[in-house]
Structure formats: C-alpha cells, structure tokens
Amino acid sequence: MKHLSTVFCIVLSLLFMGTAVPAQEAATPASGHVNAAEEDPYLWLEEVLSGPALAWVRACNAASSLELASGEDFQRLKTDLREIMDSDARIPFVSKHGTHFYNFWRDARHPRGIWRRTTPEEYAKAEPEWEVILDIDALNQAEKMNWVWKGAQILKAGGYRHVLINLSRGGADATEVREFDIQTKSFVKDGFRLPEAKGGMSWIDKDTVYVATDFGPDSLTTSGYPRIVKEWKRGTPLDAAKVIYEGKKTDMSVNAFYDDTEGYERHFVYRVPAFFKSEFYLRKDDGSLVRVEVPVDARAMPHRQWLMVTLRSAWETGGVTYPAGSLIAIDFDRFMQGKRNFSVLYTPAENNSLAGASWTRNYLILNITEDVKSKLVVLKPEGEKWERMPFIGAPENVEAQAWAIDSDENDQYFMTVTGFLTPSSLYWGSIGRAPEKIKSTPAYFDASNLEVSQHFAVSRDGTRVPYFQVNHKGLKKDGSNPTLLYGYGGFEVSMTPGYSGTTGRSWLEPGGVYVLANIRGGGEYGPRWHQAALKEKRHKAFEDFAAVARDLFKRGITSPEHLGAMGGSNGGLLMGNMITLYPELFKAIVCQVPLLDMKRYNKLLAGASWMAEYGDPDKPEEWAFLQKYSPYHNLKEGVKYPATLFTTSTRDDRVHPGHARKMMAKMQAMGQDVRYYENIEGGHGGAADNSQRAYMWAISYNFLWQQLR
C-alpha cells in the first residue's frame, strides 16, 4: 500500500497536468514540435517556486523520508556521516595571500562556516591557532538570511586588506558580491556591491574593478551569464561603469581580469562562445583589444613572461604540428609580435594525459595521469630551453597532486596524497627537496580487510575502458555481492581514486563493493577521451558504463539483482540512460541533480551553455541523435525499470530541478518503483551545510542497501 504522501504526490501530478506555463517557456518549443505545454504534461513542474510544484515536492519528500529516513540504521548512518563531515581532524586546505594562509571551515559549531586565517608557522603545527575573519552563521543570524559562502578575492595592493566576498542565497550559483575590510573585519559601508546575479567582480586596484553581471534587459546570454563586462570606479553608480567588451547573445559568457604580477602587469578580456571554447584578448593601455591568436578550443595561460597553451585539438603553426593534448610555451611578447617557435613541455601518449600544471617561482610542476594513476614531473626554463627534472619525493601507486603555494615568492608547494583506502595526507615541500607530511585525515572506516584493483572492460566498439574496484579481501565471486557502480563521463572531468569517509563508512565497511568507471566523455586520457563521446557520439559513454557492468557480471563480482549505480549532474544524465537503455543491468539507481530532458535542457537555466557537449535540440538534425539519449522521452510503458531515487535542490540554478521532477512524475504515473527527495537549499551541490549533506547521503545509501542487500 502506497504512503498517503505518495498518493498525494500522484494526485497533484494528475491535477496540474496541462497547467499553463510562463509565456517565455510556452513560446519556445523545440523546433519541429507542437507547443511544449501541449506535448509535455509535466511542464508545470518546471515552475520552480510555484505553489502546485512545491506542494508536489513536499509530498514526494514526505514519502521518501518515511521510507528511507526512519529506523535505527538510518539514524546511525546519518549521525556517523555528520561526525565525519564535521570532524576537526579534517585537513584545513589553505591559500596564501601575503603573510597569511586563508581557509574556509565548516563544523558542528559553524554549520555555514567561518572564514579564517593563520600564519605559515602556525599552520605547520598539529593544532594551529586561527584568527576568525568572518562568521557566516553570525551573519545569517544578524541579517535573517541563509547565506552560503562562495569565495573571496583578496587585493594584493594595499597590504591584502581589501576583499570582494561572494555570498549565495541557499547555495545557488548566483551570488551577491560585497566589499570587505580584513583589517576592521567588516563590510565596507558604501563600498563595491553587486546584487544577486551570475557573474561577479574582480580587482584592478583598490578603487577600480572589472564587473560582469546582470546590467538589465539584454545584458545576459541565452545561458544566463553576463555578455557585457565593464570597468567600474569607486564612488560612481554602476550604470556609469565603462563598457569594456560586449559578447554575443548566444555566447556562454564574457569576463575580464587584471594580472597584477610585478613586472608583468596586464589586462585581459575573454569571451566564451561555448564550453571548451574561448577567445582571449590583451587589453592595451588605450583600451583597445588585441586577440591572443591561439585556437578557439585551446586554453591560453599567461604567466610572467610566458604564454602557456594547452591544446584540445592538433594545431599547425610556425611549420610545426602540435598534437591534441599537448602543453606548449613561448615568450608572451614574442608571440604577440608574431613569433611561433613554441617549446613543447608535454606531449600525450596513448595511456596518459596532462591533469594540470602549476608554477612555483622558478619551476613548473606537471601533474600527469597514466592509466588513471598519478605521475609528477618538474620543468625548469633555461632561456628558451626547458630542463626536465625528477620530482623528489613523488609517491607511487596513489593519487597525488602538487601545486605551488606562492608563485611570486618561492618554490614551495603543497602535495596531497590519497587513495580509496589511503586517508588523505598533505605534504609541504620545496622543489629539489623531499616534502614533509604536515597533516593527514584520520581513518574514518576500517580498511584493514579491504583491497583495490584496476580492471579493463571492453566496450561495444572494442575500446578498453578502465575501472577501479574496491572490496573486502577474499571476496566470493558468486555474483551475489551488493555492488555500487559510479560514473560521470563528460566535460573532460576525470574520475580518480580518492579517500571518501562517506563511501567507506556507508558502503565499503558494511560489505559492499565499490566500482569507479573511467568512461569516455571524461578526461582520463585527455581531450581524445572526452571528444570520443561528444554530441552524436554520446552513446559511447553509456556503452562504456554498461560494458563495465557486464564485466562485473562476467567476473562473478555481482549480478543485475545486486548491482546499483550512482551519478550526478552529467552523471545524472548517465543514470537516466542506464534506467531507460539498460534497465536489465541494474536493480537500483541513485540519480542526483540530473539532466534528463534533452529536448528542453537548452531552455532551462544554464542549459544553453552545454550545447557544445550535447547538441542543439532546436536543430532537427541534432534532435535526431539527442532524442536517442533523452531519458525523459525514452521511457516506455510495459518496461520494468530499476528502483530509482532522484535527488535534487530547489536552489539549483545550474541544472534545473524540473529535470528530476518531471522524470519522477512520469515514472510514477507509469507505476514504476521510484522515490524523490528535493532539498530546498544547496544549489547544484544538493546541500548547503553538513547536516543537509549527511541527510542526503544517508537516504541514498539506505536506499541502496534496501534494494541490493
């Protein structure tokens, strides 16, 4: 018998089918289709804050909470996860500004967090003394708001005193920006301030900023980001700010920044036509813009005298062809004069890719991935030549990342070392000397009887797809093991090994098998791995994930009756396609902050900015392939789909909660085994504080254990 709240949820869906939608939505149906309101009976659920939609959400939340958030097991798990998330033993990661290390910290006493700082000498201690600069909980109490910290930019000039602080209502991407004075620990009266919008400000000097925000009608792109950037002087109204650059309405966004490196001060403007595409301009003293002529899909990174270029596609220039995935460098001024004699700093191989690069004062650290395993390399420029050096103290067979502490002052770096079963450690070192471990995360779960292995599945087209498996030693290969398969597969994002107290305590310690799939669409093997699953090739990512599932069956690890899957955002699209295209492979699926309606995704919030990744549904030739992996449109009557839990956030202003709402309502009307939980706060992360985060993860794992045990 269904819970009363579930019945109420269904009744509301039936009651409001066909409810009118806002004019701007009803007027923009996908090309070649009937009016969207007539075609989609659940369109009313896209009205995020409407009374009917929120009543539906509350009813679904009540049903899911009654099923998944009751009982001693749930309460114990939620308490355990909250303790992990609030633990004072976590590593307080920092950034250096002037003579201080800055950190933002949440714990049980400060659920929304405190911004604080300490000295390098103190930070090296086991228990540093911290100076609190801003308490977000106290701010919320004073202003009766639900602010969530979204970062700060500290101005170097003036002694690192002036700050631009970003605050979000409930965790959304849109932020309010306020000027703050570190010396007085207060917001500056009549200082720089921007109302809530996507975009923001950045310092030029203490009386001047670059600002890209919602300036009013026609100032935003179709993706909802700024298309105009201005220079704003202190004491003048925002309307009087000087326009620096205007992008196109169809762009993703535009912005500008000032490089304040002493001796290399430069102004830059950048236009982002789409994901992984950008035009980079040097702004000269007279205000004119000169294009930095690198390929539109390359990443251009000025640093001191150098221009670093990371290539996503092959580039033929200066009589040389540089392959996709390469990192090349040249003197910036010589490049702007027309020279093209690049130095090659990194060239990818079949099994490796560049994960990142970081400058110290005199050296460049390369973070390289080989078959999803870490390798660190050091380069030193000597004139136009680059000396390759070993990274002393680089660990093996673990995930390691190194980055500079202060590239203006010295050659010191931080390095993190982690693994599925290795609690994260932080090392402090200097190039040429072995680093010292200064902090480490405690073991949040018992890993003494656990082991990690790497395997390769063969996808439908013969591609070898790597995946990691974590399980108890002596695992019986009889197909009965509860197994959780996780994936993402998009936007060139790599899924790498890492220590998770949440996964360990919730899944591994009780006896579950955890599997991380490195499917195409991600960045594990560089741009080629990402580009192999773009647009009409998106199905390759789904085939890879299904291949990993089948390989687990073949190896006797689990079976469809005991296999679950989890993914969020683009990984939520992956989950939606596992539900609709491969329902026979899974017993249960957790689909988090998902993208599911591929016909309307480009009309919802930031969706238009992802068309370079997925395609344009308003073009008939692209809708032809998009509809093949639009989960919302591929649900069929008479098919038994896996038990599913959808989770999202009302305040997610990146991936519209309407995706999850409509999929839930449609599956529910079909009589499928589904449940839904929407956190009111949290933005795209799904939760605004550790209490909410612990609750969301606890219901997710509780659901998986109920289904797969």
Instruction: Identify the active-site residue in 168, 569, 609, 700.
Output: 569
In DSSP terms, 472 is beta-bridged to 450
CA 399 centroid distance within chain: 19
Distances (CA, A) of 61 to 56, 170, 375, 556, 688: 9, 18, 45, 37, 17
Instruction: Identify the active-site residue in 530, 656, 659, 684.
Output: 684
Residue 687's pLDDT is: 72
> Mind listing the pLDDT tens digit for each residue in 84-141?
999 999 999 999 999 999 999 999 999 999 999 999 999 999 999 999 999 999 999 9
**CA 351, 353, 355, 360 torsion-angle sign:** positive
Share of the chain above pLDDT 70, in %: 94
The Cα–Cα gap between 491 and 540 comes to 14
CA 1 centroid distance within chain: 39
Stretch 333-352: mean pLDDT, rounded? Answer: 96
Q: What is the pTM of this model?
A: 0.91
Residue 684 annotated to the active site: yes
Stretch 257-278: mean pLDDT, rounded? Answer: 96
Altogether, the residues listed in the chain come to a count of: 709
The Cα–Cα gap between 411 and 407 comes to 7
The Cα–Cα gap between 91 and 89 comes to 6
Cα atoms found within 13 Å of the Cα of residue 13, Cβ hemisphere only? 22
Q: Model confidence at 25, in pLDDT bands (50, 70, 90)? A: very low
> Mind listing the pLDDT tens digit for each residue in 536-560?
999 999 999 999 999 999 999 999 9
Distances (CA, A) of 371 to 56, 438, 681: 46, 29, 38
Percentages helix, strand, coil for the chain, rounded to the nearest 5?
25, 35, 40
> Which residues are CB-contacts of 35 (< 8 A; sequence separation ≥ 6)?
26, 29
654-657, Cβ contacts within 8 angstroms, sequence gap of 24 or more: 654/173, 654/569, 654/605, 654/606, 654/683, 654/684, 655/569, 655/572, 655/593, 655/594, 655/595, 655/605, 655/606, 655/607, 655/684, 656/46, 656/48, 656/601, 656/604, 656/605, 656/607, 657/48
The Cα–Cα gap between 56 and 133 comes to 41
* Residue 99: both structure tokens together: 């003579």
> Which residues are CB-contacts of 289 (< 8 A; sequence separation ≥ 6)?
245, 269, 281, 282, 283
- Is-contact 281 291, C-beta < 8 A? yes
* Gap between the terminal Cα atoms of the chain: 22
> Which residues are CB-contacts of 354 (< 8 A; sequence separation ≥ 6)?
310, 325, 327, 346, 348, 366, 367, 368, 369, 526
The helix (H) or strand (E) run that includes residue 531 is helix 527-531
The Cα–Cα gap between 292 and 311 comes to 14
Question: What does the CA dihedral 626, 627, 631, 636 come to, rounded to 10 degrees?
Answer: -160
> Mind listing the pLDDT tens digit for each residue in 172-200?
999 999 999 999 999 999 999 999 999 99
Winning range, highest mean pLDDT, from 5-14, 28-37, 104-113: 104-113
* Residue 417: both structure tokens together: 């070392």
Does the pLDDT of residue 34 top 60, yes or no? Answer: no
Cα atoms found within 13 Å of the Cα of residue 464, Cβ hemisphere only? 8
Stretch 193-221: mean pLDDT, rounded? Answer: 97
Mean pLDDT, all residues of the chain? 94
The Cα–Cα gap between 493 and 224 comes to 23
- Is-contact 8 65, C-beta < 8 A? no
The Cα–Cα gap between 216 and 198 comes to 13
Closest CA to 77 of 69, 65, 89: 69
Q: Model confidence at 682, in pLDDT bands (50, 70, 90)? A: confident
Closest CA to 573 of 530, 550, 542, 600: 542
The Cα–Cα gap between 148 and 140 comes to 9
Stretch 161-182: mean pLDDT, rounded? Answer: 96
The full DSSP string for 163-216 is EEEEEEETT-S-EEEEEEETTTTEEPTT--EEEEESSEEEEEETTEEEEES--S
Please give the angle made by the CA atoms of 485, 57 and 139, to the nearest 5 degrees: 90
> Which residues are CB-contacts of 372 (< 8 A; sequence separation ≥ 6)?
454, 466, 468, 494, 495, 496, 497, 518, 524
The full DSSP string for 598-637 is TTTGGGSGGGGGGHHHH--TTSHHHHHHHGGG-HHHH--T
Residue 458's pLDDT is: 98
The Cα–Cα gap between 349 and 361 comes to 28
In DSSP terms, 127 is beta-bridged to none
Stretch 58-82: mean pLDDT, rounded? Answer: 95
| Lateral strand order in the sheet of 289-291 | 253-259, 266-274, 277-283, 289-291
SS (H, E, C) 249-318: CCCCEEEEEEECCCCCCEEEEEEEEECCEEEEEEECCCCCEEECCCCCCCEEEEECCEEEEECCCCEEEC
Q: Model confidence at 396, in pLDDT bands (50, 70, 90)? A: confident
Residue 46: which region, alpha, beta or left (left: phi > 0; alpha: psi -120 to 50)? alpha
Share of the chain above pLDDT 90, in %: 91
Residue 684's pLDDT is: 75
